[in-house]
């Protein structure tokens, strides 16, 4: 992944705020333990759920059962937002990544992700790699990859908003501008 375009949105930033580097923000996403995944139901209503995930190979990965609401939503609309951060008002940093969820079927990547779950969350998260997914205590699960297209970082001391625009897959061009918050 090439470095994204990084911009401070001064409309939502206090004097003295500065843009946060993607490297720092990426590490925050990588090290987070809980994430919130937002998908869209077939009738257009949002669906938000907490879950665990793995940052690997310039993308965020998660798994879910094929019969779960989020999997059904992704069948019809793969656009997602992933959030993580600090649940306090005046300190910490919050992240939002927007992208498209794609099913992971590469066996080598699935094995690396299975190992990464154990390394990050412990042995209770050991998955068996099966054809096109994971098998665990909850049954068969699809594994998804979300490569960010746009990211937003919200600093809380001073308050700030950094935007990262990533190259569109295969194009080498940055993602379209977004109006921000």
CA–CA separation, 79 vs 147, rounded Å? Answer: 11
Give dist(CA 163, CA 58) in Å, integer: 17
Please give the model's pTM, rounded to 2 decimal places: 0.91
The model's confidence at residue 165, banded by pLDDT at 50, 70 and 90, is very high
State the pLDDT confidence band at 157, using cuts at 50, 70 and 90.
Answer: confident
- Tens of pLDDT, residue by residue over 57-102, are 999 999 999 899 999 999 999 999 999 999 899 999 999 999 999 9
Q: What is the pLDDT of residue 136?
A: 81
Identify the pLDDT of residue 132.
Answer: 80
Ordered by where they begin, the domains of the chain are: 5-165 (2.30.110.10)
pLDDT band of 173, cuts 50, 70, 90: very low
Answer yes or no: is pLDDT of 24 > 90: yes
The answer to whether 55 touches 22, Cβ cutoff 8 Å, is no
Three-class SS state of 92: coil
Pair type for strands 93-103 and 128-130: unpaired
What is the spatial distance between Cα 163 and Cα 130, in angstroms, rounded to a whole number? 37
Residue pLDDT, tens place only, 101-150: 999 999 999 999 999 999 999 999 999 999 889 998 778 999 999 999 99
């Amino acid at each position: 992944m090439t470095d994204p375009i990084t911009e401070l949105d001064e409309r939502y930033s206090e004097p003295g705020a500065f843009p946060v580097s993607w490297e720092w923000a990426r590490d925050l996403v990588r090290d987070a333990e809980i994430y919130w995944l937002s998908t869209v139901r077939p009738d257009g209503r949002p669906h938000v759920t907490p879950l665990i995930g793995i940052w690997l190979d310039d993308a965020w990965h998660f798994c879910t059962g094929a019969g779960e609401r989020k999997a059904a939503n992704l069948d019809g609309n793969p656009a997602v937002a992933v959030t993580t951060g600090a649940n306090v008002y005046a300190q910490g940093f919050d992240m939002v990544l927007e992208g498209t969820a794609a099913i992971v079927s590469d066996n080598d990547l699935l094995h690396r992700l299975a190992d990464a779950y154990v390394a990050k969350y412990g042995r209770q998260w050991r998955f068996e790699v099966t054809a096109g997914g994971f098998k665990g205590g909850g049954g068969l699960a699809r594994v998804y990859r979300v490569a960010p297209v746009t990211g937003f970082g919200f600093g809380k001391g001073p308050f700030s908003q950094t935007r990262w625009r990533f190259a569109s897959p295969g194009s080498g061009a940055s993602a379209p501008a977004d109006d921000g918050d």
